Amino acid sequence: MILGVIADDFTGASDIANTIAKGLPPHGGLKTAQFLGVPLFDAPREVEAGVVALKSRTIPVADAVNQSLKALAWLLAQGCEQIVFKYCSTFDSTELGNIGPVGEALAAALGVKGVVACPAFPGAGRTVYMGHLFVGDRLLNESGLQHHPLTPMTDPDIRRWLGYQTRSPVGFVEHAVVTKGAEAIAEALNSADEVLAIVDATSDDDLATIGRAVVGHKLVTGGSGIAIGLAENFIRSGKAAGTRGVAIGTDGPEAILVGSCSGATRRQIDVHKRSHPTLSIDVDKVMSGEIASDQIVSFITANHGHAPLAYSSNTPDEVDRMQEKYGKTQVASKLDDFFADAARNLIAAGVTRLIVAGGETSGAVVSALDLGALTIGQEIDPGVPVLLSSGNKPIALALKSGNFGSPDFFSKALERMGP
């Protein structure tokens, strides 16, 4: 492998794996595989880019740092020349969160400073201008992310937000420098005294320019968009041949599990339920133990062939009520276990196409399934590819971050996941 990625959640991992595998025209991307946790085995020799998916976004800082350093050691042992620390394009973290400490720990281990920090992903509406993060035409704290149940983003100034988390000051490369080209960006980064530096980006062209500026940099951090130009660097240098994404999938029974409460996901549920069977999960009854995951399994299996969907999504007010009643971590943990158990039983019952919406829910589900390395297939919507496990009975997956995807995402995903 020549390019390694440490992702702080599972949907983000498939998001950046998709970006690297797709690459830029005309050469395409790298042969990419996603690994669920730090592998206990070497990567297949044909893999050029490896993405290690961790569930470290909301765990204690010390644990996130430790897991990330273990992932770094494995990637370096595979021969990786450049490392990407991938976090959410909406910078999901608290003031005491993990992005800063993990970024600084990786930089210290690699002996570098002037490290790019850029969550921009224009394809999904995330842009950074003057150090402020936008979602569409709204500042981050006005986009609905201020209501996130685990990482409410109440400040769009990500320089300031990252500064709360780091031991050293945070640098900044403004858009006026970015528009001057790769050499200007490289000069700004190479002369920086700060470990991490927020870099503006308002378009894919900006991200491609940043990609050219970090040729030879041992560490880059950001959302999946930061990887847009990285594959091209290795192809241009002759270290990779370039490849196009392939259509992969499998036939068989399908299931959709939704644990995200984002506005985009709630709209996708509303669209889906117009013509497909859906099951709303009563969180109060999950917390009290009145319902178990076998009810999801019964509902899904009774509706095979009709794209059945089970969800626990709620409005921000209802989420607040649940968290106040039971505790934020208790609700999250209980629902994660609930969906993970349901997924295990669904696979055992023969489901071979599985869609999971929500970063934390996806992490819980995929950890429970222990599918090993996943092959990256075609893109369903920006940031969401088809994933396929290996073995005699492959499982096709789509792991969707809460705010990603078009209104008809669920039915579109099932079609793309077919053989």
d(Cα 260, Cα 354) in Å, to the nearest integer?
15
| Number of CB atoms found within 10 A of residue 344's CB | 16
Q: Mean of the pLDDT values across residues 151-157?
A: 90
Model pLDDT, residue 254? 97
Confidence of residue 363 (pLDDT cuts 50, 70, 90): confident
Model pLDDT, residue 112? 98
Confidence of residue 19 (pLDDT cuts 50, 70, 90): very high
* Class of domain 254-416 as given by CATH: alpha beta
Q: Are 100 and 165 in contact (CB under 8 A)?
A: yes
Confidence of residue 232 (pLDDT cuts 50, 70, 90): very high
DSSP state of 419: -
Distance of CA 83 to the CA centre of its chain: 16
Q: What is the CA radius of gyration of the chain?
A: 20
Does the predicted TM-score (pTM) go above 0.85?
A: no
Is residue 379 predicted with pLDDT exceeding 80?
Answer: yes
Domain ranges of the chain: 3-236, 254-416
d(Cα 132, Cα 117) in Å, to the nearest integer?
12
Model pLDDT, residue 371? 86
d(Cα 34, Cα 219) in Å, to the nearest integer?
19
Q: For the residues of 147-199, what is the DSSP string, one character each?
A: G-SSS-----BHHHHHHHH-SS--EEE-HHHHTT-HHHHHHHHHT--SSEEEE
Instruction: Name the residue with higher pLDDT: 239 or 26.
Output: 239
Looking only at the bridges linking them, the beta strands covering 82-86 and 171-173 are unpaired
Three-class DSSP category at 370: coil
d(Cα 34, Cα 53) in Å, to the nearest integer?
7
All residues at 6 or more sequence positions from 104 whose CB lies less than 8 Å from its CB, including other chains: 166, 167, 168, 195, 196
Is residue 391 predicted with pLDDT exceeding 80?
Answer: no
Tokens 């007010």 belong to: 317
For 287-331, write each residue's pLDDT tens digit: 999 999 999 999 999 999 999 999 998 887 888 888 889 898 898
Element (H, E) at 301: helix 294-302
Q: Mean of the pLDDT values across residues 272-292?
A: 93
Q: What percent of the chain has pLDDT over 90?
A: 75
Confidence of residue 245 (pLDDT cuts 50, 70, 90): low
CATH 3.40.50.1000 given to domain 3-236: no
Cα 67-211-92 angle, rounded to 5 deg: 45
Model pLDDT, residue 401? 85
Is residue 370 predicted with pLDDT exceeding 90?
Answer: no
